[in-house]
Amino acid sequence: MDRPLNLVTFVVVDLETTGGAPYGGSEITEFGAVKVRGGEVLGEFSTFVQPLGAIPEFIIELTGITNEMVADAPSIHEVLPKFYEWCGPVEETVLIAHNAPFDISFLKAASLKTEWDWPEFIILDTVKIARRTIGKDEVLNYKLSTLAQFFQTQVQPTHRALDDAQTTVEIFHRLIERLGNKTKTLGELHALKLGK
């Protein structure tokens, strides 16, 4: 926790799913993740995942991901261990997501389903950081699209996993810039996320 932020490896992850119930039948259809350290992109992880059931029509309309697109994709049993391996050691990697409880709940549900131990990553939520950093007089809400517009990010969110992860990286970096000297270490940033 006392590591300077520029020495921390962050994995910014976004998932597309068939619905909003990770333990109630909804499944992951796409992974998108960006690994960054010291403001530099170290790598990207992107893959479709073949769900057991069909993708509902309203999700197809939202994401543009069709049943045909995931028909030949690897299963979650193949993708999840590759993703965890790509993330790196749990003691070195911090996971970031926008509205983290959603993505993390799906990762934990997938871990349970595939009988993989959930790695106890430190988790940061850019929604919570944004709420501590950007006033309500500056933005209408803290949705990814709103913050992308506020910061005029190069990549815009599209409800596709890698695009949204790339957008979140930009937003995270801009939030860190805004915080300035208030957060120099991972512990200080984590305390901010918790509202301390």
Domain tally, the chain: 1
pLDDT average, residue stretch 143-151:
98
Give dist(CA 63, CA 41) in Å, integer: 25
Model confidence pLDDT, tens digit, residues 120-144: 999 999 999 999 999 999 999 999 9
195 pLDDT band, cuts 50/70/90, is: very low
165 C-beta neighbours (distance < 10 Å), count: 27
Indicate which residue of 98, 159, 173, 190 is catalytic. 159
Mean pLDDT value across residues 174-192: 88
Nearest in space to 23 (alpha carbons), one of 109, 113, 117: 109
Three-state secondary structure of the chain: CCCEHHHCEEEEEEEEECCCCCCCCCCEEEEEEEEEECCEEEEEEEEECCCCCCCCHHHHHHHCCCHHHHCCCCCHHHHHHHHHHHHCCCCCEEEEECCHHHHHHHHHHHHHHHCCCCCCCEEEEHHHHHHHHCCCCCCCCCCHHHHHHHHCCCCCCCCCHHHHHHHHHHHHHHHHHHHHHHCCEHHHHHHHHCCC
What mean pLDDT comes out for the span 54-67? 97
CATH number, position 107: 3.30.420.10
Model pTM greater than 0.75? yes
* Full residue range of the structural domain in which residue 185 is found: 5-193
| pLDDT at residue 196, as a whole number | 37
Reply yes or no on whether 159 is catalytic.
Answer: yes
